[in-house]
Amino acid sequence: MAEDADVIVIGAGLAGLVAATEIADTGKRVIVVEQEGEQNLGGQAFWSFGGLFLVNSPEQRRLGIKDSFELALQDWMGTAGFDRDEDHWPRRWAEAYVAFAAGEKRGWLRAMGHRIFPVVGWAERGGYDAMGHGNSVPRFHVTWGTGPGIVEPFERRAREAQKTGRLTFKFRHRADALSMTSGAVDGVSGAILEPDDVERGKSSSRQVIGDFSFRAPAVIVASGGIGGNHDLVRKNWPRRLGAPPPHMISGVPEHVDGRMIGITEAIGARLINRDRMWHYVEGIRNWSPIWPRHGIRILPGPSSMWFDATGTRLPAPLFPGSDTLGQLQYIMATGHDYSWFILTQSIIKKEFALSGSEQNPDLTGKSWRMTIKRATNEGAPAPVEAFKENDADFIVRDNLADLVAAMNALVNDNLLKLEYIKTQIEARDREIANPYVKDAQVMNLHNARRYIGDRLIRTAKPHRILDPAHGPLIAVKLNILTRKTLGGFETDLDSRVFGNDGQIIRGLFAIGEAAGFGGGGVHGYRSLEGTFLGGCLFSGRNAGRAAAKAVG
Ligand SMILES: Cc1cc2nc3c(=O)[nH]c(=O)nc-3n(C[C@H](O)[C@H](O)[C@H](O)COP(=O)(O)OP(=O)(O)OC[C@H]3O[C@@H](n4cnc5c(N)ncnc54)[C@H](O)[C@@H]3O)c2cc1C
């Protein structure tokens, strides 16, 4: 039977786009099958903040940050905590990926016109020992143009390849099955969905109007993770994090449905580390939602005080921005699936950022004039102020008694006791005037402000929370927000998928979130952040090059 292409890619998210453009560049013909419409090109990456993990970059060096491959690998391994037999390939991917982040990654992107905002962010700071979780130094490089800025070079390359006929997009084509002949994958079949011009990110119609079947000697699965499918998230929820949360909000669109993962598993592909996932605990309901249960993650600076649902401050080192899964584990152990920030106007102004391209019009729109306002600090960015005013999860009051009363009212409970919260805040506030400091969070503030990037745009000058001069007081109810899938199909460094018998399945590749961003779980248990888009770039590039070579 005639081949329709040399390679078929399932999914036009970032990973799929990278692989497809690499294939087309070798002169091979590639079909990209995508269940959503053309308006959704780029998948989740379009919505992303565009944060990239880079090591020893010129941006870091300019800010006086000393980084190295060795330090980054130490951080990665301490964060990943690889401890399973099935971590063999994830570990090899981790070593290769850190080398990519310290080497080719920045230059490769730059040659395609990608640019970086000059202030490097410091995500997942840890707080344990040198071999434990966290970034020893700031490494979160925000794309100038955020998510759309990372999609743009690959979309451009794809459009060029489209013109020459080497790349064909098949939008509204939903893959439902993979075909195999003599043990090798050789095609994709599925349903053609009715056209739908629904806005990007919104749920589209699933009405079937036809079917399709394409043949090719290589198929790359780039279908994303499971974060939009809460049933699957709950089914795979790791017991070490307690029972699955009864209430969650979605940090990803509904097309992140995990359906293709089951279809790929059905032909014998080996899915590993399915219980590893990366969800956030600082989720707020989007008052202007795009997708179902739409939540936004607050990217918090280090100063907000964090309380569980009963009003107890989270223990050290579980401060904002330190250890996402440590916080999730602690919160789930409280028997409640939410927690609280208490902060001041001075803190929100300087420290609150919201993850997502649409929440950062200054960086997304590449406007220096607007971006500079982050440093001049005249107010919180407009989207943050809009949340403060409109969002059900934000409470603003002039005094603590009113604040706590409103917090109790919001959850329709009486769990928070004013005196208990007041005692804890006053104790912390006493440490502000103490130059030696016992409170680990306050120590962290002083440490953060030694880094110029944090001092400029991320860390408020330490002050008393109850000082009215820094008011009003603000409380934010924080929900659990689903986002990333850390496990996936086990692959070798060429992104070739292993079967349950331990042998490579000929003709089958997996990349991006579907492959746990490479190998079936390059992150192990935890992430250093900015590593997901990078995982799509690296695994997509490897797969594209390897598949093009394999088909001869
Ligand atoms: C708001 C937000 C902020 C983020 N910020 C960052 C950040 O700053 N840094 C970072 O590193 N990461 C970030 N991420 C994560 C990152 O964007 C994603 O993990 C990554 O883009 C996933 O890419 P992917 O190509 O693997 O999958 P996706 O983007 O999910 O693309 C998969 C595509 O496959 C299609 N598909 C699925 N099943 C089928 C099927 N059966 N048939 C046909 N098509 C199918 C889907 O419709 C989709 O278009 C963020 C994510 C979000 C949502």
pLDDT of residue 370: 79
Give the H/E segment covering residue 400: helix 400-411
Average pLDDT for the chain? 96
d(CA 17, CA 42): 7
Q: Which ligand 1 atom sits nearest the alpha carbon of residue 511?
A: 26
- DSSP strand E in 83-133: where? none
Torsion 364-369-373-378 (CA) sign: negative
Q: Which of 122, 155, 531, 532 to mutate to test the pocket of ligand 1 (most atoms within 8 A of CB)?
A: 532
How many A from CA of 43 to the centre of ligand 1?
Answer: 5
pLDDT average, residue stretch 87-110: 98
Distances (CA, A) of 85 to 77, 91, 505: 15, 10, 20
Q: Give the distance from CA 391 to its chain's centroid.
A: 22
pLDDT of residue 232: 96
**pLDDT for 14-71, tens place per residue?**
999 999 999 999 999 999 999 999 999 999 999 999 999 999 999 999 999 999 999 9
Residues 395-438: tens digit of each pLDDT: 999 999 999 999 999 999 999 999 999 999 999 999 999 999 99
Residue 378: predicted pLDDT: 66
Percent of the chain past pLDDT 90, that is, above it, reads 90
**Residue 387 scores a pLDDT above 70:** yes
User: pLDDT band at 353, cuts 50/70/90?
Assistant: confident
Interval between CA 452 and ligand 1 midpoint (Å):
32
Alpha-carbon gap, residue 201 to 36, rounded angstroms: 9
The number of the ligand 1 atom at minimal distance from the alpha carbon of 53 is 11
Q: Give distance in angstroms: CA of 482 to centre of ligand 1.
A: 13
pLDDT at position 359 over 90: no
Measured in Å, residue 164 CA sits from the centre of ligand 1 at 27
CA of 13 from ligand 1 middle (Å) equals 6
- Quick check: 122 and 138 in contact, CB under 8 A? yes
Q: What is the pLDDT of residue 368?
A: 84
Q: Quick one: pLDDT at residue 367? A: 85
Q: What is the predicted pLDDT for the residue at 1?
A: 60
Q: What is the pLDDT of residue 377?
A: 61
> With bands split at pLDDT 50, 70 and 90, how would you rate the model's confidence at 372?
confident
Give the position, in ligand 1's atom list, of the atom nearest the Cα of 142: 8
pLDDT one-digit tens code per residue, 168-218: 999 999 999 999 999 999 999 999 999 999 999 999 999 999 999 999 999
Nearest Cα neighbor of 304 from 444, 468, 133, 140 is 444
Report cis status (omega within 30 of 0) of the bond before 148. no
Pocket of ligand 1 (CB under 6 A): 10-16, 33-36, 40, 43-45, 47-51, 174-175, 222-224, 251-252, 255-256, 259-260, 355-356, 484, 512-513, 530-534, 536
pLDDT tens-digit readout, 433-463: 999 999 999 999 999 999 999 999 899 999 9
* 514 neighbors 488 (Cβ within 8 angstroms): yes
Which residues, at least 6 apart from 386, have a Cβ–Cβ distance to it below 8 Å? 287
- What per-residue confidence (pLDDT) applies to 544? 98
- Probe target for ligand 1 pocket from 17, 120, 223, with the most ligand atoms within 8 Å of CB: 223
- Shortest CA distance to 226 belongs to which of 246, 193, 250, 206? 250
* pLDDT score for 260: 98
Could you read off the pLDDT of 502-520 as tens digits, one per residue?
999 999 999 999 999 999 9
Q: Name residue 180's beta-bridge partners.
A: 185
Rounded to the nearest angstrom, the distance between the alpha carbon of 526 and the centre of ligand 1 is 18
Buried b or exposed e, range 260-272, using 16+ CB within 10 angstroms: bbebbeeebbbbb
Which of 10, 48, 213, when mutated, tests ligand 1's pocket best, judged by the most ligand atoms within 8 Å of its CB? 48
Average pLDDT over residues 256-262: 97
Query: How far is the centre of ligand 1, averaged over its atoms, from the C-alpha of 522 (Å)?
Result: 16
Best of 533, 537, 539, 541 for a ligand 1 pocket test (most atoms within 8 Å of beta carbon): 533
Question: Of all atoms in ligand 1, which is nearest to the CA of residue 40?
Answer: 49
Among the listed residues 484, 518, 94, the one whose alpha carbon sits nearest the alpha carbon of residue 272 = 518
Across residues 252-257, what is the average pLDDT? 96
